[in-house]
């Protein structure tokens, strides 16, 4: 039996939902964008009408407004979008019990056995999905169909979005004719840096990569080189799993600051806040980590500065104090003194917290009871219910972050 996987993508998800919430905006060019006064004035989603004016996702708000003077700008409401995404997931679960969220507006669905159950073709099932999502939430969906997850993803990204029905099927039969002529930068898993490397090797299309000898790719990039080559052929054995976002390799937080931070006195306030939040999330997910990494981005896009470094700890931890101390050491050692506009902290090398290795020579300073009490207070009264006094200073961001999800207001 040939495998059938769907990748269901919502068209202009945030902007489309805002038009559902505000019917008067149906014929208006609408974008959802962050607040330009705090450096997040970037287009998160643009409706099809706005896109006809040349407005693009991820461009600066001022650029979009120059292209479309009548642009309607709506601030994001992340909790509403998350709630809608969960509802869409529930709709898709009526088609299959194997549903995997890939992002807030993209969901994989394993349809191999469901098609036999419903006695319909893949395209018929996809059309029924699209109609049901439209009827229940008012937004348009597109469906990429493939024999693997990676083919379904590329079918959706490069073809389904351009077809009248919003459906496209990509299999080994049309791989060479439809996918391979596309530029190498369009292939899933190829970023800007990798695109430059591949072009430097004379690989300019996905087909060039598919026909390229495997050994040189493996010699240069190891297993990642083989993964890229396999992606060009559409080979992807990974299953659609319902617990993809439960198993984590790392827990981190990164934020863009509302202004440039010039001094260590200001920087360490945010570094402590991020460390405590990383630790709280690790405890909530029953993890400990062994590696702490931190990084910073400079204030000048034309003259990039900043760093990203990591340090392996002596013992696994999910304690915010331990994470902060490691991050602070890294920061003080590698920060070049230039103004900072973004900061991040990550706990890596995760393992379940069901056990802890004791060390006779380096006693662990155990704050488990205190951490559990703080977690309980935040869970009941909000993440800003209790915090370090330094977070109440001008440099602190904890109170503002408590009102946001994913960097945007709830």
Which ranges of 234-386 does DSSP label H, i.e. alpha helix?
A: 264-284, 320-334, 368-381
Torsion angles phi and psi, residue 147, rounded to 5: -85, -5
Q: Do domains 177-233 and 250-409 have the same CATH topology?
A: no
Distance, CA of 95 to CA of 148 (rounded, Å): 18
- Where are the strands (E) in 11-92, listed by range? 30-33, 43-46, 72-74
pLDDT means over runs of 10, the chain (410 residues):
93 94 93 70 91 91 90 90 92 94 94 90 95 94 96 96 94 95 95 92 96 94 93 94 66 85 92 93 90 84 72 90 94 89 90 71 65 84 82 81 64
Q: Output the pLDDT for position 301.
A: 52
Geometric angle at alpha carbon 184, from 31 and 224, rounded to 5°: 105
Residue 361 to residues 62, 64, 315: CA-CA distances in angstroms? 58, 60, 12
Q: Which residues are annotated as a binding site for Mg(2+)?
A: 9, 105
Contact residues for 308 (Cβ-Cβ < 8 A; gap 6+): 293, 294, 295, 344
- Residue 99, both tokens: 């549903």
Q: Output the pLDDT for position 303.
A: 57
Active site residue 106: yes
- Residue 252's DSSP bridge partners are 346
Distance, CA of 176 to CA of 185 (rounded, Å): 17
Domain chopping of the chain, boundaries: 177-233, 250-409
Element (H, E) at 351: strand 351-352
Q: Output the pLDDT for position 51.
A: 94
Q: Which residues are annotated as a binding site?
A: 9, 105
Q: Output the pLDDT for position 258.
A: 82
> What angle do the packed helices 320-334 and 264-284 form, to 10 degrees?
140
Fold type of domain 177-233: DNA polymerase; domain 1 (1.10.150)
Choosing from 18, 98, 100, 106, the catalytic residue is 106
- Residue 183, both tokens: 């530029």
Does the domain at 250-409 match CATH 3.30.1490.100? Answer given as yes
């Amino acid at each position: 039996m040939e495998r059938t996987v769907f990748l269901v993508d919502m068209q202009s998800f945030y902007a489309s939902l805002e038009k559902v919430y505000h019917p008067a905006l149906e014929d208006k060019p609408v974008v959802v964008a962050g607040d330009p006064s705090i450096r997040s004035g970037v287009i998160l989603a643009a409706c099809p009408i706005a896109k006809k004016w040349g407005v693009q996702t991820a461009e600066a708000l001022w650029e979009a407004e120059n292209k479309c003077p009548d642009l309607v700008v709506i601030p994001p409401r992340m909790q509403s979008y998350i709630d809608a995404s969960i509802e869409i997931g529930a709709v898709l679960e009526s088609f299959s019990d194997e549903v995997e969220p890939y992002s807030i507006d993209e969901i994989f669905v394993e349809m191999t056995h469901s098609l036999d159950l419903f006695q319909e073709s893949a395209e018929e099932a996809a059309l029924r999905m699209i109609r049901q999502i439209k009827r229940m939430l008012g937004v348009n969906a597109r469906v990429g169909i493939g024999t693997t997850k990676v083919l379904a993803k590329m079918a959706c990204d490069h073809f389904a979005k351009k077809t009248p029905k919003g459906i496209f099927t990509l299999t080994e039969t049309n791989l060479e004719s439809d996918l391979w002529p596309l530029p190498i930068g369009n292939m899933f898993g190829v970023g800007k840096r990798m695109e430059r490397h591949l072009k430097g090797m004379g690989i300019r299309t996905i087909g060039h990569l598919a026909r390229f000898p495997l050994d040189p790719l493996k010699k240069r990039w190891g297993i990642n080189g083989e993964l890229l080559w396999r992606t060009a052929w559409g080979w992807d054995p990974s299953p659609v799993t319902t617990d993809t976002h439960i198993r984590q390799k790392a827990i981190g937080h990164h934020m863009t600051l509302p202004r440039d931070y010039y001094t260590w006195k200001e920087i360490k306030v945010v570094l402590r806040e991020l460390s405590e939040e990383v630790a709280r999330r690790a405890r909530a997910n029953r993890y400990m980590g062994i590696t702490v990494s931190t990084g910073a981005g400079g204030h000048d896009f034309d003259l990039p500065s900043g760093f990203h470094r990591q340090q392996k700890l002596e013992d696994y931890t999910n304690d915010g104090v331990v994470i902060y101390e490691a991050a602070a050491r890294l920061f003080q050692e590698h920060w070049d003194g230039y103004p900072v506009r973004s900061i991040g902290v990550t706990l890596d090398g995760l393992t379940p917290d069901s056990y802890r290795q004791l060390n006779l020579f380096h006693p662990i300073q155990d704050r488990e009871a205190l951490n559990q009490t703080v977690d309980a207070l935040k869970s009941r009264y909000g993440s800003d219910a209790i915090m370090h006094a330094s977070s109440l200073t001008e440099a602190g961001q904890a109170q503002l972050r408590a009102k946001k999800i994913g960097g945007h207001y709830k």
